Structure 1
């Protein structure tokens, strides 16, 4: 009897896992999820707690008598400030928006020739970028301040926005993603008469969408938490984070408003991350390319 060819035999690989194993895995994941969500749950509940529950020991996770008095206290404090609250919001939007957009564009434009072109000193430049990732912000704070002072842009929005353009992590991330794009695709575009900028914006950037969306998330979170205290001296140029931290440092009488401040500080980056995360997952599932 002739044996069937190995090319005609089709077998489906199935995971041999019992119901007990699935249940155990679900329980472990649920426990891990609860621990990860516990800090966020406490932040939300603390914002709704009256002062007597905020000072109770041991602290309560769940609020007993929800109240919006903390939000009212924060509104009163911000209304009495000689700088309007809307001014702090505008400063944060300008710094975060232009800083994130500029960093994504600059990092992408710098990463494209490093990933897809050959020129003298290419490896040395990239090694310098990788080396820059080893230095923390505290190490480069003094050189950054000196450069900003020499440029004459201290105490302006540019003092916070321009340094955001030059983070080495963004360039490194974009270069690694751009190297996955087939060279044959770019050569085909050149044969069709497309220029480098047309190739960059029409082919390269759409295919590395997961990279620059991830980069936008990181940069947004970094700039959102920036108080600008090192470069901005004028109160009218301070971002929202500075005003919120000043309220939080007001002592026990402002603990209610401080709890609301913590909620605001955490809510905006989390919301931005959730919005961008869905786009990243959708793009990653449809952007696989092979040479």
Structure 2
């Protein structure tokens, strides 16, 4: 009700100025996306013109035809690269959400010896860049024999510390009487977790989905995957664009393809995030 009253008391000029400001910010943030879309449909003469044009004058699909032609000549089918990318993204993102949620639940709702110390280690892990942990991560994967396999990418993605931290903070907001009432009614811990806790922390795991999905979708395997048949779509498309300026049009098409899936996933998820965040306030 407070927010509703503030909206009523806001003057019309202030509302118009706020709307114009937000519209300008939105347009400014959309410019790179619009430019990338236009570049994907530009012929080569427009891509190399100076000064560069923001909008395409003579749209063409030649860049996508050239990309399909190049990929058809590869000894590894393009469908294989797609499969590897989807496999890593789905299992890495889904496993991360489930593992982080199951680990955060006892830390948020149970007090046991060492719980605070474990959480402090998780918070400390947030301070380290992935570049800092790259060598220890490689040594662990090598010791487990997972180098040159998808497990070397999926398993570390599941242990992303931000997920556990975020899920714990959200789970702490769930009223304890709600869980105690479920236990009195005979619900098991597993049922409480899946049917009560997880639906109430929907904003958290949707946020993790938005954060983790683009990272795994854009991975190229790094120093963990060496076999060509295990490489991802991003790696294959990078090899195409590394051929030089002759592949500039193909590179523009590649950039559009790589950004389409994460953007589409974000558009589908953001409405649910906003809706659940606006209705997730709970009090004892």
TM-score normalized by the length of structure 2: 0.95
Choose which of 74, 77, 83 in structure 2 pairs with 1:81.
74
Q: Which moved more, 1:216-225 or 1:86-95?
A: 216-225
The correspondence of residues 24-63 of structure 1 with structure 2, limited to 5 A, is 24-63=17-56
* Partner in structure 2 of residue 92 of structure 1: 85
> For residues 136-168 of structure 1, what are the alpha-carbon distances to aligned partners after superposition, in whole Å with 9 as ceiling and x for unaligned?
011000000000010011111111111111000
Equivalents in 2 of 1:222, 1:243: separation in Å? Answer: 16
Matched ranges for 1:198-217 at <5 A: 198-217=191-210
Shift of 1:224: 0.8
1: CA distance, partners of 2:105 / 2:249: 49
CA distance in 1, matches of 2:216, 2:101: 19
CA distance in 1, matches of 2:10, 2:209: 39
Aligned with residue 267 of structure 2, among 264, 274, 278: 274
Equivalent-residue separation in structure 1 for 2:64 and 2:200 (angstroms): 44
| 1:231 corresponds to | 224
Supply the distance in 1 between the matched residues of 2:177 and 2:16 (Cα, whole angstroms): 48
Superposed CA deviations along residues 262-285 of structure 1, whole A, max 9, x for unmatched, are: 111111111101111112122223
Instruction: Give the C-alpha shift of residue 189 in structure 1.
Output: 1.1
Deviates further, 103-112 or 220-229: 220-229
Distance 2:215 2:96 in 1: 12
Q: 1:119 to 1:14 in 2, by over 3 A?
A: closer
CA drift of 1:24 comes to: 2.5
Q: Match for residue 188 of structure 2?
A: 195
| Secondary structure, aligned partner of 1:29 | helix
What TM-score results when the alignment is normalised by the length of structure 1? Answer: 0.93
Q: CA RMSD in A?
A: 1.3
Q: Give the secondary-structure state (helix, strand or coil) at the position aligned to 2:49.
A: coil
Answer yes or no: is 1:252 the counterpart of 2:245.
yes
Residue of structure 2 aligned with 1:171, choices 164, 175, 178: 164
User: How many residues get paired?
Assistant: 280
- 1:283 corresponding residue in structure 2: 276
The answer for unaligned runs of 5 or more in structure 1 is 1-11
Larger radius of gyration: 1
